[in-house]
Amino acid sequence: MRHINVLILSTFMLFSLVAYAQHDTHEHEPETTHEDTSAHDHLQIPEHAEDIHGAAHEEKAFNASEMIMHHVLDNHDWHITDIPSGKDAQGHTTYTPIALRLPWIFYSSRDGFVFSSTHDLDAKNYLVYHDHVYALKAGAVRPHADAHGAIHLEKEEWEAYKAENVDASVTLLDFSITKTSFQILIIAALMLWVFLSIARSYKKNTGAPKGTASLFEPIIVFVRDEIAKPYLGDKAMRFTPYLLTLFFFIWFSNLLGLTPLNSNIAGNISITAALALLTFIIINVNGSKDYWVHIFANPGVPPALRYSLMLIVEVVGVFTKPFALMIRLFANISAGHFMVLSLVSILFILGKGGKSIGGALGAMPISLLFTFGIYFLEFVVAIIQAYIFTLLTAVFVGMAMESHDHEHAHEHAHAEGDHH
């Protein structure tokens, strides 16, 4: 056991040493102005890292919060890494990005539906800046771009450019398959593959489950018996498919978000908002008569309060439940990713972006151990958050469906607290 621990630890040390060594090479560059961007390149910031910073000619030290934001936010290309490809005229190391360019698909009131690569957008007189697409006026001058196509403008410069050259009358609706939506498709494909193969194996095999089916059967039964049945009673089977879909979608997306080369989609508030919206619809479509009476004419309070204060409280309550679901999942998953990325950043902050090897060596054990700890905690959080989202959905739907002659269920609803 001890040997395994040592092995794992040294492997991680080796990785960060390799990472650090690559980083260190920039130190010997004749000019240090590009130091910052090299640090970013190295941490898998794409070639347009400078365009996130705004200005390339005013480089600062390694900026952890920008690195973290870049990793967490959605993007139009699936960036994997950069490989050094040689030196340019000034002796700077140049990088070739390895990235999957996702297409731009948007509706423009000027050209109708546009389906295009980033490169071809130039010919159609559109400009991509900070991962947003802008329609340019006819004959507009394009801003100067570097070898990677990144545009370096100060905020004021960009505002001035925008006022002069961007055609504000063109409406653009962006439907592009971004990193996040591509990740959804991957998860959907994975879930279809897993669950169709389970369904097939049950069709063929009437005995004990085998293979994938035996791996997932306990979890499926857990969702049905521990989440759906206690809160939804005899209507449980109607909602089990939805609950199972929620549970596995959130769990799979969290797990994939923790593996390299994937993006974490539950850390994107639009995804959790969509999931919460589905729950919101299901709660309100299945609301019983008592549920609506309780909201608009709560029989438990005097009439003066019933139609004034309680009405507001109850109506707000209808929206806070899915809103809390949305915030909870989003904040939990983003917090984990922020933590991991911040702890990795310690290495680069104390290493002074390649200038202080001692600082980096000192930071390495802290950075490694904490990252390791948080990372494994995140695997637990992945399944707990899937469980809680599913459980609360079942609880809320159950509360909305109950009729108030059902004594036990009523007590339960009161125990939940946040709504009566």
Partner 1 sequence: METIGIMGAGIGAGLAVIGAGLGIGRLAASSVESIARQPEAAGDIRGAMILTAAFIEGVALLAEVVCLLIVFTK
What minimum distance in Å lies between the beta carbon of 411 and partner 1? 12
**Closest CA relative to residue 180, chosen from 273, 279, 48:** 273
Residue 120 is given by DSSP the state H
Q: Are 61 and 353 in contact (CB under 8 A)?
A: yes
Q: Per CB under 8 A, does 230 bind partner 1?
A: yes
Q: Per CB under 8 A, does 411 bind partner 1?
A: no
CB atoms within 10 A of CB 279: 22
Q: Per CB under 8 A, does 266 bind partner 1?
A: no
What minimum distance in Å lies between the beta carbon of 360 and partner 1? 27
Single out the segment in contact with partner 1 by CB under 8 A; choices: 49-57, 141-149, 159-167, 391-399: 391-399
Q: Per CB under 8 A, does 161 bind partner 1?
A: no
Cα(185)–Cα(250) distance, integer angstroms: 14
What minimum distance in Å lies between the beta carbon of 327 and partner 1? 5
What minimum distance in Å lies between the beta carbon of 320 and partner 1? 10
Cα(89)–Cα(86) distance, integer angstroms: 10
The residues near 109 (Cβ < 8 Å, ≥ 6 apart) are 169, 170, 171, 172
What minimum distance in Å lies between the beta carbon of 72 and partner 1? 11
Q: Per CB under 8 A, does 328 bind partner 1?
A: yes
- Rule CB under 8 A: choose which of 392, 399, 401, 413 binds partner 1: 392
* Residue ranges in 59-178 assigned as alpha helix (H): 64-72, 118-121, 155-165
What minimum distance in Å lies between the beta carbon of 419 and partner 1? 11
Q: Per CB under 8 A, does 331 bind partner 1?
A: yes
Estimate the share of the chain in helix, then strand, then coil, as percent rounded to the nearest 5.
Answer: 65, 10, 25
Q: Are 106 and 46 in contact (CB under 8 A)?
A: no
Q: Are 102 and 178 in contact (CB under 8 A)?
A: yes
CA 249 to chain centre: 13
- Rule CB under 8 A: choose which of 391, 399, 401, 413 binds partner 1: 391
**Closest CA relative to residue 58, chosen from 123, 168, 155, 161:** 155
Q: Per CB under 8 A, does 151 bind partner 1?
A: no
Contacting partner 1 within 334-363 (CB under 8 A): 335
The torsion of the CA quartet 130, 148, 68, 116, rounded to 10 degrees, works out to 50
Single out the segment in contact with partner 1 by CB under 8 A; choices: 49-57, 145-153, 243-251, 328-336: 328-336
Cα(177)–Cα(169) distance, integer angstroms: 25
Q: Per CB under 8 A, does 324 bind partner 1?
A: yes
Number of residues that bind partner 1 (CB under 8 A): 18
| Residue nearer to partner 1 on the CB measure, 405 or 418 | 418
Q: Per CB under 8 A, does 395 bind partner 1?
A: yes
Single out the segment in contact with partner 1 by CB under 8 A; choices: 236-244, 297-305, 397-405, 409-417: 409-417
Note the residues at the interface with partner 1 (CB under 8 A). Answer: 226, 230, 324, 327-328, 330-332, 335, 387-388, 391-392, 395, 415-418
